[in-house]
């Protein structure tokens, strides 16, 4: 599968950043397995489906509809939680480099992520976070 953990661990990362990338990957995969509510396929296939849906250029409404085709019962809270985890994981995606908008460094992106509470340390802390979907 092209959706392996190595896709999110570019060689240019420091050891600390590699650890953060590994943590983001593990949290995302664990969440997507929980998110799908039942055994739909292997973990990487499930993760790739959710990641691709949420990183597409489609509107948020269309992204939700795409996921609901597979998981009709997905709640808006789970959808929002998945968005947060995808935003965190996407920072490490080597297939999207450079992911930072022009003039913005990875360090600034990390600071922005922490400022908005997108650490992925919990799946539903009740906080409302608004951020652009198309980074």
Question: pLDDT tens-digit profile of 27-81?
Answer: 999 888 777 766 556 778 888 989 999 999 999 999 999 998 888 888 899 999 9
How far apart, in Å, do the first and last CA atoms of the chain sit? 25
87-98 residue pLDDT tens: 999 999 988 654
11-40 residue pLDDT tens: 888 999 999 999 999 999 988 877 776 655
Contacts of 21 (CB under 8 A, 6+ apart): 8, 9, 13, 89, 92
The model's pTM is 0.65
Residue range 4-14: average pLDDT? 87
> What count of Cα atoms within 13 Å lies in the side-chain half-sphere of residue 134?
6
CB 72 within 8 A of CB 37: no
Widest pairwise Cα distance in the chain: 43
Contacts of 27 (CB under 8 A, 6+ apart): 85, 88, 120
CB 90 within 8 A of CB 55: yes
CB 54 within 8 A of CB 14: no
């Amino acid at each position: 599968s092209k959706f392996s953990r190595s896709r999110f661990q570019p060689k240019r990362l420091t050891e600390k950043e590699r650890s953060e990338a590994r943590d983001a990957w593990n949290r995302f995969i664990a969440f997507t397995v929980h998110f799908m509510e039942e055994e739909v396929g292997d973990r990487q296939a499930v993760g790739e489906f959710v990641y691709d849906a949420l990183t597409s250029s489609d509107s948020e409404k269309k992204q939700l509809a795409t996921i609901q085709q597979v998981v009709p019962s997905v709640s808006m809270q789970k959808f929002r939680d998945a968005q947060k985890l995808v935003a965190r994981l996407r920072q490490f995606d080597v297939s999207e480099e450079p992911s930072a908008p022009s003039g913005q460094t990875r360090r600034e992106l990390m600071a922005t992520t922490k400022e908005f509470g997108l650490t992925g340390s919990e799946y539903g802390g009740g906080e409302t976070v608004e951020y652009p979907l198309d980074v």
